[in-house]
């Protein structure tokens, strides 16, 4: 290649080694670490964050970037340099002390959140959230507000490059209106039964069941693992070590299956990134919106499809036992597509899910701007849920404490779930355009055609293209919310008997 490019990549990989080590420690904190390890783990993560930051912002990085700009590099190398420059510019604007403090505080805040959620006690978490938000505002100020933008935009750039609140608001408003009206229409007729998710199944049997599904859809257990945590997530260090978590309730196997398929979607993406480019932009997911598209695609377009349940109903009987034997494929398909406004985002159906995101997007912007005080968050949350979803929040656990994100400092993340939902519908439609109807292979337990299409059109590119360009190359068009809305209506109207 070229000497400056090779040197730049070597330094990027050093930083990635430190960051991926922190990822494993963070996974351990959520799954294995005893409570007594919180303070020491926070210091470990803080030091690793600082060391990685110093690697990414070292003076020689700026010199190597300049030399790479002057070199005649192939397109793939130019993409690496472009993304490493963006990373350098953002990282260099934030002091190392702030990076370390943020890592230490969010590590402790996650533990405080878990205890507060268990006790349904927002008051105990409030000082931690205030501290996290203060650090995020400071970081946003260092990063700089985009022209014509707001403080929140500077943070959202971490998750979806180029995403601005001003661009999302006109996208979310019609989604809220269309989805709200559709949900109301469905609520006025008798829909499918949710009986499959009300029967009690042993946790150990549920775990065997979801592991079998994970294997079937393509999660490689020789390069990954599944564990339990309070809030499902996907972590790990690289494509050869992907760690996902899920959770179980005796009387809601649908939550376990949906969470597992969602996180497997993330994991399959990570395992599909180019193995020889680990630690470089071309070996890294392009954005969180695209990442969420992969999780939402497997969770919804596969896991809630009629074809999937024509195969999976028998698997459920084999793994879950006699209680599942009385349930047909139609029963499972119906239960997986019940539309009912609810309290919990990760348990929400496809029609109401994005309304949960709309609530968080609005509250988050107000928290960052200071228009909403942390002390007033529970009341604001409860009022928003009453207005947008028509449900009353009974306690903090099922209200503003249900998500781990803010305790981790993931401010600006939530809208990527809706972007991912829209991208997922578009990718799936393009896959069926190229491969034909996928219901039949799903009914035979064959998910390889879809997985291979995603490998070839999404996973293999890493960050070579931005999210919008990747979408255009894979589907032939830019992001189009109508594709998702049309898909949803085509599936749910017949199921509910609504013209």
- Read off the pLDDT of residues 51-71 as tens digits, 9 standing for 90 and up: 999 999 999 999 999 999 999
Q: Are 309 and 439 in contact (CB under 8 A)?
A: no
- With pLDDT > 90 as the criterion, what percentage of the chain qualifies? 98
Q: Are 269 and 224 in contact (CB under 8 A)?
A: no
Give Cβ neighbours of residue 19 (< 8 Å, ≥ 6 apart).
Answer: 48, 52
As a residue count, the chain comes to: 499
Do 133 and 215 reside in the same domain of the chain? Answer: no
What residue numbers bound the domain in which 206 lies? 165-496
- Read off the pLDDT of residues 84-102 as tens digits, 9 standing for 90 and up: 999 999 999 999 999 999 9
- Report the 10 Å Cβ neighbour count for 179: 21
Report pLDDT for 332: 98
Is 152 within the bounds of a domain?
A: no
Do 205 and 317 reside in the same domain of the chain? Answer: yes
Report pLDDT for 192: 96
Report pLDDT for 230: 85
Report pLDDT for 198: 93
Q: Give me the CATH number covering residue 241.
A: 1.10.1370.30
Do 227 and 131 reside in the same domain of the chain? Answer: no
> Domain end: 144, 177, 204, which one?
144
Rounded to two decimals, the pTM is 0.96
How do the residues of the chain divide into helix, strand and coil, expressed in percent and rounded to 5?
70, 5, 25
| Type and span of the H or E element at 353 | helix 350-369
Is 158 within the bounds of a domain?
A: no
Q: How far apart are CA 2 and CA 77, in angstroms?
A: 10
The pair of structure tokens assigned to 416 is: 């990527």
**pLDDT above 70 for 24:** yes
Do 34 and 89 reside in the same domain of the chain? Answer: yes
Mean local confidence (pLDDT), 243-251 = 96
Let me know the angle formed at the C-alpha of 168 by 167 and 171, rounded to the nearest 5 degrees: 105
Q: Which residues belong to the active site?
A: 263
Residue 173: helix, strand or coil by DSSP? helix
Do 326 and 403 reside in the same domain of the chain? Answer: yes
Do 134 and 181 reside in the same domain of the chain? Answer: no
Is 370 within the bounds of a domain?
A: yes
DSSP-assigned states of every residue in 125-154: HHHHHHHHHHHHHHHHHHH-PPTT--HHHH
Report pLDDT for 7: 98
Do 252 and 314 reside in the same domain of the chain? Answer: yes
Q: How far apart are CA 241 and CA 28, in angstroms?
A: 13
Mean local confidence (pLDDT), 213-242 = 96
> Domain end: 110, 144, 178, which one?
144
Do 52 and 173 reside in the same domain of the chain? Answer: no
Is 252 within the bounds of a domain?
A: yes
Do 251 and 359 reside in the same domain of the chain? Answer: yes
Report pLDDT for 265: 98
What is the number of structural domains in the chain?
2
Report pLDDT for 231: 86
Do 252 and 184 reside in the same domain of the chain? Answer: yes
> Domain end: 144, 178, 199, which one?
144
- Read off the pLDDT of residues 411-446 as tens digits, 9 standing for 90 and up: 999 999 999 999 999 999 999 999 999 999 999 999
Residue 465 pLDDT class (50, 70, 90 cuts): very high
Instruction: Beginning with the edge strand found earlier in the chain, give each strand of the sheet holding 234-238 in spatial order.
Output: 224-228, 241-246, 234-238
Number of continuous H segments (helices) and E segments (strands) in the chain = 21, 3
- Read off the pLDDT of residues 179-227 as tens digits, 9 standing for 90 and up: 999 999 999 999 999 999 999 999 999 999 999 999 999 999 999 999 9
Is 326 within the bounds of a domain?
A: yes
Q: Are 154 and 143 in contact (CB under 8 A)?
A: yes
- With pLDDT > 70 as the criterion, what percentage of the chain qualifies? 100
Mean local confidence (pLDDT), 166-187 = 94
Q: Classify the C-alpha dihedral 328-330-333-336 as positive or negative.
A: negative
**pLDDT above 70 for 455:** yes
Is 149 within the bounds of a domain?
A: no
Report pLDDT for 499: 81
Mean local confidence (pLDDT), 391-420 = 98
- Report the 10 Å Cβ neighbour count for 122: 22
- Read off the pLDDT of residues 250-292 as tens digits, 9 standing for 90 and up: 999 999 999 999 999 999 999 999 999 999 999 999 999 999 9
Is 151 within the bounds of a domain?
A: no
Give Cβ neighbours of residue 412 (< 8 Å, ≥ 6 apart).
Answer: 152, 155, 156, 157, 158, 159, 163, 364
- Read off the pLDDT of residues 109-161 as tens digits, 9 standing for 90 and up: 999 999 999 999 999 999 999 999 999 999 999 999 999 999 999 999 999 99
The pair of structure tokens assigned to 388 is: 């947008």
| Type and span of the H or E element at 86 | helix 75-92
Report pLDDT for 1: 66
Is 193 within the bounds of a domain?
A: yes
Do 47 and 107 reside in the same domain of the chain? Answer: yes
Phi first, then psi, for residue 458 (nearest 5°) are -125, -60
β-pair partners for 243: 225, 235
Report pLDDT for 289: 98
Spacing of C-alpha 188 from chain mean position: 32
Do 113 and 49 reside in the same domain of the chain? Answer: yes
The pair of structure tokens assigned to 349 is: 């159906």
């Amino acid at each position: 290649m070229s000497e400056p490019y090779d040197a730049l990549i070597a330094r990027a990989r050093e930083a990635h080694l430190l960051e991926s080590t922190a990822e494993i420690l963070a996974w351990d904190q959520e799954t294995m670490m005893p409570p007594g390890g919180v303070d020491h783990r926070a210091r470990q993560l803080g030091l690793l964050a600082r060391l990685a930051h110093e690697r990414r912002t070292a003076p020689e990085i700026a010199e190597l970037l300049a030399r790479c700009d002057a070199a005649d590099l192939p397109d793939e190398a130019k993409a690496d340099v472009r993304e490493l420059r963006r990373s350098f510019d953002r990282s260099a604007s934030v002091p190392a002390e702030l990076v370390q403090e943020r890592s230490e505080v969010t590590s402790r805040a996650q533990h405080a959140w878990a205890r507060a959620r268990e006790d349904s006690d927002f008051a105990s978490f409030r000082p931690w959230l205030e501290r996290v938000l203060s650090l995020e505002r400071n970081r946003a100020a260092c990063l700089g507000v985009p022209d014509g933008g707001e403080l929140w935009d500077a943070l959202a750039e971490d998750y979806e490059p180029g995403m601005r609140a001003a661009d999302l608001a006109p996208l979310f408003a019609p989604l809220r209106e269309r989805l709200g009206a559709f949900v109301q229409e469905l609520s006025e007729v008798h829909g499918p039964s949710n009986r499959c998710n009300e029967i009690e199944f042993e946790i150990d049997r549920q775990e065997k069941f979801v592991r079998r599904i994970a294997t079937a859809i393509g999660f490689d257990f020789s390069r990954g693992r599944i564990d339990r945590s309070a809030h499902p997530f996907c972590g790990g260090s690289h494509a050869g070590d992907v760690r996902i978590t899920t959770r179980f309730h005796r009387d809601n196997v649908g939550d376990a299956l949906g969470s597992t398929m969602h996180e497997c979607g993330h994991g399959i993406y990570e395992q599909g990134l180019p193995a020889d480019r680990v630690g470089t932009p071309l070996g890294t997911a392009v954005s969180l919106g695209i990442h969420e598209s992969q999780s939402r695609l497997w969770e919804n377009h596969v896991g809630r499809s009629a074809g999937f349940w024509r195969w999976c109903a028998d698997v459920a009987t084999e793994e879950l036992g006699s209680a599942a034997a009385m349930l047909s494929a139609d029963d499972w398909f119906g239960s997986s597509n019940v539309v009912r406004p609810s309290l919990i985002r990760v348990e929400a159906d496809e029609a109401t899910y994005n309304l949960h995101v709309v609530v968080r997007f609005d509250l988050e912007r107000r928290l960052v701007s200071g228009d909403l005080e942390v002390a007033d968050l529970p009341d604001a949350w409860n009022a928003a849920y009453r207005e947008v979803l028509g449900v009353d929040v009974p306690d903090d656990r099922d209200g503003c404490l249900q998500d781990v994100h803010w305790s981790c400092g993931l401010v600006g993340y939530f809208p990527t779930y809706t972007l991912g939902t829209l991208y997922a519908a578009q990718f799936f439609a393009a896959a069926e355009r190229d491969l034909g109807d996928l219901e039949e292979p799903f009914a035979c337990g064959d998910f390889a055609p879809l997985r291979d299409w995603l490998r070839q059109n999404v996973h293999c590119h890493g960050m070579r293209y931005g999210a919008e360009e990747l979408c255009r190359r894979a589907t032939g068009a830019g992001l189009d919310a109508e594709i998702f809305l049309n898909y949803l209506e085509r599936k749910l109207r017949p199921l509910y008997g609504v013209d």
